[in-house]
Chains A and B, each alone.
Chain A
Amino acid sequence: MRYPTALITLIRELGRLPGIGPKSAQRLALYLFNQPEEDVLSLAQAIAEAKETLQRCPICFSIMSSDDTRCSVCDDPQRTQKLLCVVEQPADLLAIERSGEYVGLYHVLHGSLSPMHGIGPDQLTIKPLLSRLDGIDEVILATSTTVEGEATAMYLARLLNDLEVNTTRIGYGLPVGGDLEYADEVTLGRAIANRRQLQL
């Protein structure tokens, strides 16, 4: 049996989404076909509207509505203006916000250095970062603890040290509630190397 052209197109488009293989794309397409028309239209409208009305904040490069001039974090005078946290992706920013432990500003790089993927310093928002350091007392490098994230942090640390900016790196260690026995060797090694004095 040959599928109708519209169904094939929908499966192909859904299959282009990350993590969606051909079988999942087919299942999703058939699921959408069985949904009420208003639900499907609402989904389509939400996708189109998000694409149309969302853009990057011109200061921190996080996501904001195109109606605003800056994102909610940059616009919040209650936040500590002298503390800047550098993250790879907007999702990392949201994760730190969920922790409730940080009240400073952010800067989103939109990736990490990976020469073999063609990502060098010019492909990241490093130049805008260096141009917004006036009045910043501390830059926290919160890139991932992967080799790529680590290399990006070290590259930035070198640039920031040249500019005499106080630079720190997020702590390494074991996940809360985890057993030592099940920790991987690299994490455990870093946790030992970066141990700290217990304040009693």
Chain B
Amino acid sequence: MSRRYRVRDGIIIRRNALPNGDIVATILGEKGKWHGIARKGKIPGGNLGRLSLFHDVTIQYYRRGEEALALITQVQLNGALSRLSQPDVYPYAHILAELADALSVEVEPGGQIYDYLASGLRGLNQHRDTELVALAYAWKLTAQAGLAPQVATCTHCKTTSQLAFFDIAGGGLGCQQCRVGLPLLERQAAEVQQLVRGSVRTTLDMRLPDRALHWRILHRYLAYHVRPLKSLINLSSLTETYKGEASRV
């Protein structure tokens, strides 16, 4: 096989269908993300029909020189998560995929963002509390990119006690003495610490009553430190719990 043909695994994190039937896909794999075009990929059946959003696939592609878009020639499906299109899961899957797209780069040596996205999508597909899964994995993905907020100490004076604020611009929790940022109850500050630093397993055992607040913190933090996510802005119109709170974001 010509060296111009290559094979890579990954998850489809973005898919744009063009009016002429072509599909431009963004694929996130263990070695980073890349873009490819499937000529007439919208035609049902055949290999390229597997090129759907959130599918885990192995792709054979052809790239000439330094062309930005690889030409996708074959697609093999490794796994599809059937629940991701359900109304109570779909908006959260979009948040994780868009966040992974925003955080990942073309060359990523470790592949941790891919691992966490795959794990997060599986969690959304299996777990009953999909909103909690999405919150937990959104913070995990942010942390994997080295952009986690500082939650162990106050971002200003470094004290570990009386943490009761979330300072978006400062990048973490603040204390009662410094008083900078969004005011939190002691319990809510502990929940932020758990979401950011705790294991996913223990996070998914939490009750997390003030979810609108946690979405607000995540939304504002990502808008400031990563980029505004369209899927987070749209969450209000697709889910019930976020309703009424989004206008305050």
Distance in Å: Cβ of A121 to nearest Cβ of chain B = 5
Q: Indicate if the CB atoms of A147 and B44 lie closer than 8 Å.
A: no
Q: Indicate if the CB atoms of B98 and A116 lie closer than 8 Å.
A: yes
Q: Indicate if the CB atoms of A182 and B45 lie closer than 8 Å.
A: yes
B101 contact set on A, CB distance < 8 A: 116
Q: Is A1 an interface residue (CB 8 A)?
A: no
Q: Indicate if the CB atoms of B87 and A115 lie closer than 8 Å.
A: no
Contact-size category for B: 35 or more
Query: Quick one: which of A156-184 are within 8 Å of B by CB?
Result: 158, 174-175, 178, 182-184
Distance in Å: Cβ of B108 to nearest Cβ of chain A = 20
Nearest to B43 among chain A residues (CB) is A175
Q: B-facing mask of A116-154, CB < 8 A → 1, else 0?
A: 111111100000000000000000000001111011001
Nearest to B81 among chain A residues (CB) is A147
A147-B52, A187-B45 as given contacts; A115 in contact with B234, CB under 8 Å: yes
Q: Is B162 an interface residue (CB 8 A)?
A: no
A114 contact set on B, CB distance < 8 A: 94
Contact among B14, B44, B85 for A116, CB-based, below 8 A: B14
A167 to B15, CA, bound (A): 28
Question: What is the interface size of chain A, counting residues whose CB is below 8 A from a CB of the partner?
Answer: 30
Q: Indicate if the CB atoms of B20 and A146 lie closer than 8 Å.
A: no
A147-B52, A182-B46, A186-B52 as given contacts; A121 in contact with B19, CB under 8 Å: no
A155 contact set on B, CB distance < 8 A: 87, 90, 238
A182 contact set on B, CB distance < 8 A: 45-46
A116 to B95, CA, bound (A): 7
Q: A-facing mask of B1-27, CB < 8 A → 1, else 0?
A: 000000000000011111110100000
Q: Indicate if the CB atoms of A121 and B237 lie closer than 8 Å.
A: yes
A114 to B95, CA, bound (A): 11
Q: Is B183 an interface residue (CB 8 A)?
A: no
Contact among A117, A145, A151, A184 for B87, CB-based, below 8 A: A151
Q: Is A185 an interface residue (CB 8 A)?
A: yes
Q: Indicate if the CB atoms of B231 and A116 lie closer than 8 Å.
A: yes
B95 contact set on A, CB distance < 8 A: 115
Nearest to B86 among chain A residues (CB) is A154
B19 contact set on A, CB distance < 8 A: 18-19
A113 to B238, CA, bound (A): 9
A41 to B243, CA, bound (A): 53
Contact among A18, A121, A145, A185 for B44, CB-based, below 8 A: A145
Known contacts A19-B22, A113-B90, A147-B52; 17 further A-B pairs (Cβ under 8 A): A18-B19, A115-B231, A116-B97, A116-B101, A117-B16, A117-B230, A118-B230, A121-B237, A122-B237, A146-B52, A146-B53, A147-B85, A148-B15, A154-B85, A184-B50, A185-B50, A186-B52
**Closest 5 interchain pairs by CB?**
A19-B20, A115-B231, A150-B85, A120-B234, A115-B94
Binding site for B on A (CB under 8 A): 18-19, 113-122, 145-148, 150-151, 154-155, 158, 174-175, 178, 182-187
A-B contact pairs, 24 of them (CB 8 A): A19-B18, A19-B20, A113-B90, A113-B238, A115-B94, A115-B234, A116-B229, A116-B230, A117-B230, A118-B233, A120-B238, A122-B237, A146-B15, A147-B53, A148-B15, A150-B85, A151-B85, A182-B45, A184-B45, A185-B50, A185-B77, A185-B80, A186-B52, A187-B49
